[in-house]
Amino acid sequence: MKVAKFGGSSMAHEEQFKKVKSIILAAPERSVIVVSALGKRTKEDDKVTDLLYLIHAYLHHGVDWTPLWERICERFIQVRDVLSLTFPIEDELLEIQKKLQREKVSQDFLVSRGEYLTAKLLAEYVGYTFIDAKELIFFDYTGEIDEERTKQAIITIYQEKGPLVVPGFYGANPVGKEKLMGRGGSDITGAILAKLLNADCYENWTDVSGIMMADPRIIDTPKIIKEISFRELREMAYMGANVLHESAIFPVQEAGIPIQIKNTNDPEAQGTRISSKEVEKENGLTGIAGKKDFLSLTLFKRHMSDEIGFIWKAMSVFANHGISIEHIPSGIDNIGVVVSAEAIADQLFLITKELKENLGVEEVEIIENLALISVVGGPHKELIGLSGKVLSILNQLEIRTSILSQGAQELNLIIGVKNEEYETVVKGLYEGMVNVDVSKTSHGVTSNS
Ligand code: ASP
């Protein structure tokens, strides 16, 4: 069986419901369906979830929330009517409205109504049983999902009732009240249910045909990554690629269940498969990701490399100030520490002072406005030419890199350039690498396209 999760854009209006229905009914193994709340119909439109958060804030500040509420009601009623469903949604809406009028509504209850009502409508439309997430996903007192209890519930309900539609994004707290997950939480609901039901696959239906090889704001229609391993995905996501929520990946990764990203608006497109399998890519390249606004401190001390524990002591200074270290490119008697510029801003002076006074660091060179670009490759351990290609592209672009580091697992190559050169470098790398067969330069290593 498969767990299929449909995001807000897939559920934005009645026409999207029709596409979702045909996707579900085309494959009976898609038997647990998780939905987000009605999303944006156009770029300028609002997500129902955002409107619900706003209503809660208005209520709190005594602002008239009724126009927003009416917009929400109209949207749900329109879906129900156009699809000729019989669900008496007005009664549910009235119940919620009464709670709002009594000002007795918790944010978690109110905001979760988006998913709740969307799932009710879809369940009737596809003829599957609706199950309130409150009866299925349980949180413990620490705010973590109680997997044992949740597992018992989902297995029993699934066996008894057959195919289900479940609202994503919330569950029940230990006293049985609605509890929201973080934004984008429907992905987590889907992942948890896939894990606990030991699904063959977790399908994540959205409005793009998969994970792109580079940021579409920089590259015009980048290619889609057909297969990516969890480890490569983590590299891409960490360096800023917009992929699934980390917490939505972990449960399925742990259970060895693949994720398939699919496009509701183009169901025939292959999409991206995320699994534990490391597949060697054409040209050795999985994708390019990156982020701006880092700061690098280069610490220099004579004979640093002979001093046992120096790196540990230096790292402790950053840790004591609560600064997370992103990268540590090192030389012989110098070491670079790359951190988020924003995170260190208030403490830079103090940290530099401590490094000099307590650790005897002689010089601290600071590079600001640094962007990091990660060239993520699959298992390219034996592939010759990837780093050479990256460097020759930088050379052609006449751009110098202040950082060049290859992760120990050889999954990525990270380069540091100036913030203002970031887009140029990403474009240059993409154009120079995506259509070029680096494997030709390797000795006997073939791509498995
Ligand atoms: N509707 C929620 C949000 O917008 C949850 C989700 O879509 O996954 O964050």
pLDDT tens figures, 279-300: 777 667 889 999 999 999 999 9
Residue numbers of the domain that contains 284: 280-437
Domain final residue, candidates 275, 307, 331 = 275
- Residue 14: inside a domain: yes
- Residue 37: inside a domain: yes
Per-residue model confidence as pLDDT tens digits over 403-415: 888 776 667 889 9
pLDDT score recorded for residue 312: 94
Per-residue model confidence as pLDDT tens digits over 123-138: 999 999 999 999 999 9
| Cβ atoms of 349 and 355 closer than 8 Å | no
Band (pLDDT 50/70/90 cuts) for residue 382 is low
Per-residue model confidence as pLDDT tens digits over 150-181: 999 999 999 999 999 999 999 999 999 999 99
| Ligand 1, atom 2: closest residue by C-alpha | 184
Are 301 and 184 contained in the same domain?
no
Are 326 and 223 contained in the same domain?
no
- What's the mean per-residue pLDDT of the chain? 91
Beta bridge partners, 335, equal 299, 330
DSSP-assigned states of every residue in 120-135? HHHHHHHTPEE--GGG
pLDDT higher than 70, residue 381:
no
* Euclidean distance between CA atoms 220 and 102, whole angstroms: 50
pLDDT score recorded for residue 331: 84
pLDDT higher than 70, residue 84:
yes
Are 176 and 202 contained in the same domain?
yes
Are 350 and 238 contained in the same domain?
no
176 appears as a binding residue in the annotation: no
| Cβ atoms of 248 and 202 closer than 8 Å | no
Band (pLDDT 50/70/90 cuts) for residue 448 is very low
Are 214 and 103 contained in the same domain?
yes
* Euclidean distance between CA atoms 373 and 238, whole angstroms: 11
* Euclidean distance between CA atoms 406 and 64, whole angstroms: 56
Q: Of all atoms in ligand 1, which is nearest to the CA of residue 115? A: 1
| Ligand 1, atom 6: closest residue by C-alpha | 184
- Residue 447: inside a domain: no
Mutate to test the pocket of ligand 1, among 115, 192, 243, 245 (most ligand atoms within 8 A of CB): 115
Q: Measured in angstroms, how far is the CA atom of residue 119 from the centroid of ligand 1? A: 13
Kindly report the CATH number assigned to the domain that includes residue 108.
Answer: 3.40.1160.10
Q: Of all atoms in ligand 1, which is nearest to the CA of residue 114? A: 1
Domain final residue, candidates 258, 275, 292 = 275
| Cβ atoms of 393 and 432 closer than 8 Å | yes
Q: Is 285 exposed, middle or buried (0-12, 13-18, 19+ CB in 10 A)?
A: buried
Q: Would the pTM of this model clear 0.85, i.e. be above it? A: yes
Closest CA to 235 of 269, 274, 190: 274
* Euclidean distance between CA atoms 171 and 186, whole angstroms: 10
Kindly report the CATH number assigned to the domain that includes residue 392.
Answer: 3.30.2130.10
**Residues with C-beta less than 6 Å from any ligand 1 atom:** 7-8, 36-37, 47, 49, 114, 168-169, 183-187
Torsion angle of alpha carbons 128, 129, 133, 136, nearest 10°? Answer: -120
Mutate to test the pocket of ligand 1, among 35, 183, 189, 246 (most ligand atoms within 8 A of CB): 183
17 appears as a binding residue in the annotation: no
- Residue 323: inside a domain: yes
Q: Which helix (H) or strand (E) holds 261?
A: strand 259-263
pLDDT score recorded for residue 17: 98
Are 324 and 202 contained in the same domain?
no
pLDDT score recorded for residue 449: 30
Average pLDDT estimate for 58-74: 95
* Euclidean distance between CA atoms 305 and 297, whole angstroms: 17
Q: Measured in angstroms, how far is the CA atom of residue 272 from the centroid of ligand 1? A: 21
39 appears as a binding residue in the annotation: no
pLDDT score recorded for residue 444: 31
| Cβ atoms of 117 and 74 closer than 8 Å | no
189 appears as a binding residue in the annotation: no
pLDDT higher than 70, residue 383:
no
Higher pLDDT, 315 or 388: 315
Count: domains in the chain: 2
- Residue 445: inside a domain: no
Q: Of all atoms in ligand 1, which is nearest to the CA of residue 50? A: 4
Are 429 and 349 contained in the same domain?
yes
Q: Is 390 exposed, middle or buried (0-12, 13-18, 19+ CB in 10 A)?
A: buried
418 appears as a binding residue in the annotation: no
Are 137 and 239 contained in the same domain?
yes
- Residue 449: inside a domain: no
Band (pLDDT 50/70/90 cuts) for residue 45 is very high
99 appears as a binding residue in the annotation: no
Are 215 and 321 contained in the same domain?
no
- For residue 417, give Cα distances in angstroms to 10, 281, 294: 38, 26, 10
pLDDT score recorded for residue 437: 47
- Residue 102: inside a domain: yes
- Residue 407: inside a domain: yes
Domain final residue, candidates 259, 275, 291 = 275
Query: Which one of 9-23, 203-217, 406-420 scores highest in mean pLDDT?
Result: 9-23
pLDDT higher than 50, residue 440:
no
pLDDT higher than 50, residue 447:
no
Are 114 and 252 contained in the same domain?
yes
Are 268 and 296 contained in the same domain?
no
Which residues touch 47 (CB under 8 Å, ≥6 apart)? 8, 37, 38, 39, 40, 114
Q: Measured in angstroms, how far is the CA atom of residue 321 from the centroid of ligand 1? A: 34
Are 66 and 50 contained in the same domain?
yes
Average pLDDT estimate for 414-437: 88
